[in-house]
Amino acid sequence: MAEELNPWENALKQLDKAAKVLKLDPGIHQILATPKRVLEVQLPVKMDDGSIKVFMGWRVQHNDARGPFKGGIRYHPNTNVDEVKALAMWMTWKTAVVDVPFGGGKGGVRVDPKALSPGELERLTRRYAYAIAPIIGVDIDIPAPDVYTNPQTMAWITDTYSAIKGYFEPGVITGKPLEIGGSEGRNEATARGLQYVTEEALKVLNMDPKKAKVAVQGYGNAGYFSAKFMKELGMKVVAVSDSKGAIYNPDGLDPDKVLEHKEKTGSVVGFPGATSLDNDPQRANEKLLELDVDVLIPAAVENVITDKNADKIKAKLVVEAANGPTTPEADSILYERGVVVAPDILANAGGVTVSYFEWVQARTREFWDIDTVRMKLRAKMTKAFRDVYEMHKELKVDMRTAALCLAVKRVAKAIELRGIWP
């Protein structure tokens, strides 16, 4: 893996940049450059044919100075400890940017979930829940969904954890189904928060959403809802993609119809009336990023905007639904070219914000309606955007560095106030 494509190396470079701007105390910098705890677990699973297969999993707890560790669980064939460490660090910054009382953590299992039967997936999930149970808890570390995990995965984890404890504990995890203590609006939350951030960004850029074209990479939870909400803002969704390819229609796509097609066929590819950007999925996804659009939303994986293609991005505004889609080298190129990036730790923080709402509701056993969730989410995201934008103006740095500075400052203050024990 090239150094710039290692997410952990990238996360450290971002931290270094913010530390330099802030003239951060070197001791605090050292604390933040290291996760507090890394748990690696072996996950033996009885497969449907009777054989045993061993998967590897991780839970990384980066920092809990501001509150319990918080962050999703990713199932992906390429995930590794460095990716999970980076994702955990980004969670620490994200919870600080939106100012919810959590720290940062993340989980990962190296598996291709599409190759497992539902029974195998459930056994793997319960095994993982059992393996991380000693270090999670309602006031310790609260997992949630990420790539290729969903409310059903969260339900199995809730059940396994509750079985170990001997009582129902819905507060230990978020992103659960509504029937077992989930929150209204959590499923759409990442993209709903992204919508609120996009609205603010368009205002400061003086751009009219009704005249804007948007391309969205990735068509899962973050991607589909982002496309839907951008269309609701009046934008024309001209291209979307998934791991199997990318489709394009200059007259605009209907996100709900594309979703129906994906649910029927397994991919956005082949959607009637749209052209395929390339037969090769990787090239198709690369071409999507370089389309002549006003707004670009990467909503899939890391490291898709690099020093190889940053000079070819035509969008004026990049709103990061995915975590870590832009490398530090690409960030510098985009900044020099005047392309505004609403960074992941701000733009996709709607997910963890509604997770916080879910945690509060699960603990109090009082549940809010969707309008209340959306109103509270808009308030949080708008304030976070304005805080980051102020920092960007004050420090004369790009929006990512501004968001990092805001977050690092808040976390460093919590560490200083709590002190080092013993």
Ligand X SMILES: O=C(O)CCC(=O)C(=O)O
Ligand Y SMILES: NC(=O)C1=CN([C@@H]2O[C@H](COP(=O)(O)OP(=O)(O)OC[C@H]3O[C@@H](n4cnc5c(N)ncnc54)[C@H](O)[C@@H]3O)[C@@H](O)[C@H]2O)C=CC1
Q: Which residues bind to ligand X, rule: CB under 6 A?
A: 70-72, 94, 144, 146, 174-175, 323, 348, 351-352, 355
- Residue 182 φ/ψ region, left for φ over 0, alpha for ψ in the -120 to 50 degree band, beta for the rest: beta
**Complex with ligand X: residue 101 or 250, whichever CB lies closer:** 101
Binding mask 251-290 for ligand Y (x = CB under 6 A): ----------------------------------x-----
Q: Name the binder of 71 from ligand X, ligand Y, none, CB < 5-8 A by kind.
A: ligand X
Instruction: Pick the binder of ligand Y from 92, 174, 198, 217 (CB under 6 A).
Output: 217
221 known ligand binder: yes
- 52, 69, 156, 59: which is closest to 109 by C-alpha? 59
Q: Which is nearer to ligand X, 145 or 245 (CB)?
A: 145
Question: Which of ligand X, ligand Y, none is residue 174 near (CB under 5 to 8 Å by kind)?
Answer: ligand X
Which of 141, 146, 169, 184 is the binder for ligand Y (CB under 6 A)?
Answer: 146
Q: Which stretch binds ligand Y (CB under 6 A): 34-42, 235-243, 271-279, 379-387?
A: 235-243
Tokens 């500075």 — which residue? 405
At 10, which amino acid appears? N
DSSP 220: S
For the chain, give the number of residues: 422
Environment class of 2 (CB within 10 Å of its CB; exposed 0-12, middle 13-18, buried 19+): exposed
Q: Residue 297: name its binding partner from ligand Y, ligand X, none (Cβ under 5 to 8 Å by kind).
A: none
Is residue 190 within the footprint of ligand Y (CB under 6 A)?
yes
The least CB distance from residue 17 to ligand Y, in Å, is 21
153 binds, among ligand Y, ligand X, none (CB under 5 to 8 A by kind): none
Exposed, middle or buried, 150 (CB in 10 Å: 0-12/13-18/19+)? middle
Query: Which residue from 363, 357, 369 is spatially nearest to 168, judged by alpha carbons?
Result: 363
Q: Report, in Å, the least distance between residue 244 CB and ligand X.
A: 23
Binding mask 330-349 for ligand Y (x = CB under 6 A): ------------------x-
Q: Is 106 a catalytic residue?
A: yes
> Which tokens belong to 298?
């990467």
- Return the residues of window 126-145 that contact ligand Y according to CB under 6 A: 145
Where are the extended beta strands (E) located within 290-391? 295-298, 317-319, 340-342
Listed residue (139, 153, 156, 174) closest to 350, CA to CA: 174
Rounded distance between C-alpha atoms, residue 268 and residue 283, angstroms: 15
Question: Which parts of 371-390 interact with ligand Y (CB under 6 A)?
Answer: none
Of 151-159, 204-212, 215-223, 227-235, which segment contacts ligand Y by CB under 6 A? 215-223
Residue of 106, 228, 287, 316 with catalytic role: 106
- 243 labeled binding residue: no
| Under rule CB under 6 A, residue 184 binds ligand Y | no
Helical residues (DSSP H) of 104-220, grouped into ranges: 118-132, 151-165, 189-205
Can you list the pairs that 163-166 forms with residues at least 24 positions away whose Cβ atoms lie under 8 Å?
164/130, 164/133
Strands 141-145 and 69-76: parallel
> Known binder of ligand: residue 70?
yes
- Locate 180 and state its tokens: 């077992």
The answer to whether 121 touches 39, Cβ cutoff 8 Å, is no
- Which of ligand Y, ligand X, none lies near 322, with the C-beta cut-off 5 to 8 A by kind? ligand Y
Tokens of 150: 């969903």
Q: Shortest distance, CB of residue 59 to ligand X, whole angstroms?
A: 12
Residues that bind ligand Y (CB under 6 A): 72, 145-148, 190, 217-223, 241-243, 285, 299-301, 321-323, 348, 351
Active site residues: 106
Residue stretches of the annotated binding site for NAD(+): 190, 221
